[in-house]
Structure 1
């Protein structure tokens, strides 16, 4: 038993029936033996609908690498909700997330978060990180896809004189573009960063049907390690171009959404959440996780893309459909990923 555990056990003699951790949190709100927490230290508006939220994490936080993401939890109407966000702060700094008010949790964070608020955290994850050694880089981003790349640029460009980064960022217009002023300042101060802003309202989207747009924007793109982050259609098109040019190993893609199989007509059904004693009727395209959250059921979740497996929940009975592959499963007791599974008839879940 560790020294801290022994001390808490000794303190419990005097604090029973209240755990000593509850008294510690009165002094230090980040103190928790079970759940990693962070205290909000700043909220910085970025656009009319987005903000950067910086927090000081508890001692068990693992420092993130530039480009990684982490789960952030908040309590809304008494229910703890989790979402995954790319970390926009440079490696070695206190973590920060840049959030756009789309969806219930993101909107809550942008509109309601204040300095001093406590958020719940999970350790940073992800392989969308800088290469091990120095090499020329091409960053292609659109919309909020700039967020993990901003962490990379803030980490690399001010610290490495040999940095050679071309960033091509697309946004609807200047008012919707994240980090515009900071990026312009970094490009002016550091010759290793070449910045191209593309406003799609005036210039249209970058075409990946052939290499023409890239040849004009970054003539030596074939010799660079490329990172792409943005809408699904952009990622798919970029991946296809790199495949056609025989350079798939030089491309790293960060996806926010999961590619889904076509919806099957007649899917859906009634979901019964046994422990919560709730039922809800859904269609065949609604993830079980989303259906449960909208019904007020507390369910585990993480990346919400079928990657981290945090949402695994026992299937007590019924048939579910994998939204990525279209395959169905009906093995009782099987652990299913509720974020990428939908009802294919009546379903009973152990939550």
Structure 2
């Protein structure tokens, strides 16, 4: 099928699950050569692109003082056949460069198909430039780039008879999509929700969660850590005595997830715990760093030993493949042509000739990537 590969080549990198969409993109690319298809498509509609997924920000709705729900209308080629709990990548043009991050979808697939929008809920982090921009600096009407929905942390179908959602902070965001989907579908199960945040003011979706509890959809416990303390193993057993018997979905800070992992492992129920980590847990970063070359000498940047190769490429203006940005999905894997890099999670070193994950690796001296 070499002819098919040649025909589809102009749209080969577009994130779309539908073959018909890829063929249409490829056909349009062929008939508009030698000009880029986007030269024509953008004139008709800024959300049309033969090379990438795009979307327009419909609204930015504050949830708490430092978080907001961003409603986006995706353009041509976006598939609304995602699963509750999945995430999308969003790219925003800031100071002349595209900055990318991944966020859980808080919308429900069936509702998205009806109104043609998706939603993410973002908490502005003190160290997170892009998250702060999304919450406080993003305006309705902004055109953003999108990566297709992905992730295995999803609501199962059919539902288990007994479930536990254990979350902390913004770890609630993938879970709210699952709960909303259950309510919309009219699905019933024995569902316990344990969610911890510093204070009442930090609680996302407060009225909605309490409404679900009042309607009997969930058994809800809110743990306000500044007054009630952390969720400890003893607290977990007190709040949900049969926790080891439940299929559990957990999302939140690393320490919280580590505690749950230890408890489920000790109980011999590790296979019942499903975890989503929002951020790269950096272990031994080292102090190496170096000059990273992306394919050719004209694409180089010098970085420290704590900057991931993915971040380095984006800073250098290189179009880098990525997905979850946490070392889970393998979308960012490239070949290391020269030098050595270090895995920021474990400190393990990888050398030339190995395939590496750029989202969790940093330079251990000068190195060259095949991108």
TM-score bin (small chain): 0.7 to 0.9
- Report the Cα distance in structure 2 between the residues aligned to 1:79 and 1:288, rounded to whole angstroms: 16
Q: Select which of 305, 322, 341 maps to 1:320.
A: 341
Task: Give the secondary-structure state (helix, strand or coil) at the position aligned to 1:115.
Answer: coil
Q: Does 1:107 align with 2:132?
A: yes
Q: Select which of 84, 87, 98 maps to 2:105.
A: 87
Gaps of 5+ in 2: 1-6, 8-19, 113-117
Partner of 1:235: 257
Partner of 1:343: 363
Q: Does 1:172 align with 2:201?
A: no
Distance 1:121 1:277, change over 3 A: closer
Identify the range of structure 1 (192-201 vs 287-296) with the bigger mean alpha-carbon deviation. 287-296
- Report the Cα distance in structure 1 between the residues aligned to 2:200 and 2:36, rounded to whole angstroms: 52
CA-atom RMSD in angstroms: 2.6
- Please say if residues 319 and 343 of structure 1, whose CA atoms lie closer than 8 Å, have aligned partners that are also in contact: yes
- Report the Cα distance in structure 2 between the residues aligned to 1:7 and 1:348, rounded to whole angstroms: 35
- Please say if residues 64 and 92 of structure 1, whose CA atoms lie closer than 8 Å, have aligned partners that are also in contact: no
What pairs with 1:149-298 in structure 2 (closer than 5 Å)? 149-160=175-186, 162-188=188-214, 190-208=215-233, 212-264=234-286, 267-273=288-294, 274-283=296-305, 285-294=306-315, 298=319
Gaps of 5+ in 1: none
Q: CA deviation at 1:168?
A: 1.1
- Report the Cα distance in structure 1 between the residues aligned to 2:255 and 2:209, rounded to whole angstroms: 25
Q: Does 1:61 align with 2:61?
A: no
Distance 1:10 1:344, change over 3 A: closer
Distance 1:37 1:293, change over 3 A: closer
Q: CA deviation at 1:59?
A: 4.0
Distance 1:349 1:21, change over 3 A: closer
User: TM-score normalized by structure 2?
Assistant: 0.83
Residue correspondences, number: 341
- Report the Cα distance in structure 2 between the residues aligned to 1:144 and 1:38, rounded to whole angstroms: 23
User: TM-score normalized by structure 1?
Assistant: 0.87
